[in-house]
Structure 1
Amino acid sequence: GSPVNLERSMAANDRNSGHFVQGHVDEAGKILEFKQEGESLWVKIALSDAILPFVVPKGYIAVDGTSLTVCEVNHREKWFNLMLIAHTQQCIVMPKKKVGERVNLEADCLGKYAAAAVGGVAERVSGLEQKLVRTQITAGVGLSL
């Protein structure tokens, strides 16, 4: 395996001014490009349709255990990019990797929770709508659209 970043867990009663990272791997992404811009390093990473909906500009994603802010997302080409400042480059493993290497990705858990909740409501509403139509048809009530 390749190195990843690890941090101690935060105590439940600590103040949180950052992102929620659970330490789960949703999938392995692929580094598409490194681009140096002054002291900053831009990184472009490919990902799949499975977690693409949970990656948003100015949101976060954990890459090899490091929570980072997403800069841009390209849904058509299935990639996102982020920018690493000089200090961050010195503290994490990603800049040591090469184009084409895999990185572990963990999408925003709050986005996943929201999607699950909204998806559940949408399924229930759809079921109620179908039941209402069946009831109206069975009762012989005409529906005007």
Structure 2
Amino acid sequence: MFTGLIQALGTVKPLGGDSWQITCVTQAETMMLDLAYGDSVAVDGVCLTVEEVSSRGFTATASPETLRRTTLGMDSPEGKYVNLETSLRVGGKVGGHFVMGHVDGVGQLVAAEKTATSWEMTFTAPEAIARYLVPKGSIAINGISLTVANYNHELSQFTVAVIPITYSDTNLRHLLPGSWVNLEGDILGKYVEKFLNPRKATESSVSDSISLAFLAENGYL
């Protein structure tokens, strides 16, 4: 589990094979000192397991499924900047929102416009993501915890406001219109959908006792 607060930027060097071994090179000494074999690291929002740690980075394997569903398998990620975050420790600060590192789909940058106080960035959203988008709700873009400013259902697009420190310290500043990004919807929305969807309910499911009326009565709506 992660929080969507990026600790460092790295670059990727695929080592080949059906399941790519990916070496991430980073100059973030503080992050590297805390990294060990078997740890989880989010690479552009994709949860990978550290297999080897070196003085300059770490190596992890991305399976064919991971490559097929994320930007790690699109074109060649070699040399491109990726966002890095180590997993949340017990007692650690949750500054963003709960990010699982399980990418739901990919979207594309439509436009990025600089305003007086931030950058307004608009992305496309596939249906796998769109159903979890709500104004002021959370979304992870390349592993970054961001807040949805608005969502255009007809265009399947959403906009986020990115503060200067996030823009400068992540790979968002390297994106161009048409660039692909990894998207992960809010885990809370997924559980609510599960509870309220009768097709997914079972005889022993707690969804039998949860309804829109129940959520409203208990302050969730």
TM-score range, shorter chain: 0.7 to 0.9
**TM-score using structure 1 length:** 0.77
Query: 1:77 corresponds to which letter in structure 2?
Result: L
Q: Which moved more, 1:1-10 or 1:27-36?
A: 1-10
The answer for the alignment partner of 1:106 in structure 2 is: 184
CA distance in 1, matches of 2:93, 2:175: 33
Query: 1:38 corresponds to which letter in structure 2?
Result: A
- Asked if 2 retains the 8 angstrom alpha-carbon contact of 1:30 and 1:100, the reply is yes
Which structure: greater strand fraction?
2
CA distance in 1, matches of 2:96, 2:161: 17
Match of 1:35 among 106, 113, 128: 113
Query: 1:56 corresponds to which letter in structure 2?
Result: V
Q: CA deviation at 1:95?
A: 1.7
Distance 1:24 1:123, change over 3 A: closer
Distance 1:48 1:8, change over 3 A: same
- Which has the bigger relative contact order, CA under 8 A and spacing at least 6? 1
CA distance in 2, matches of 1:104, 1:59: 17
Query: Could you report, residue by residue, the CA deviation over 1:35-84 in whole angstroms, capped at 9, with x for unpaired residues?
Result: 11124111000011222110111111100011111111111110100011
CA distance in 1, matches of 2:102, 2:200: 27
| Count of matched residue pairs | 125
1:78 equivalent in alignment to 2:146: no
1:64 equivalent in alignment to 2:138: no
Distance 1:16 1:118, change over 3 A: same
**TM-score using structure 2 length:** 0.52
CA distance in 2, matches of 1:72, 1:106: 17
CA distance in 2, matches of 1:91, 1:27: 23
Q: CA deviation at 1:13?
A: 4.0
**Structure ID, larger Rg:** 1
Which runs of 5 or more residues in structure 2 are unaligned? Answer: 1-76, 203-221
CA distance in 2, matches of 1:14, 1:85: 23
The list of structure 1 runs, each at least 4 consecutive aligned residues, that deviate by more than 4 angstroms after superposition, is 121-124
Query: Could you report, residue by residue, the CA deviation over 1:10-53 in whole angstroms, capped at 9, with x for unpaired residues?
Result: 12344535300011111110100011112411100001122211
Task: Quote the RMSD (CA, aligned, Å).
Answer: 2.0
- Asked if 1 retains the 8 angstrom alpha-carbon contact of 2:195 and 2:201, the reply is no
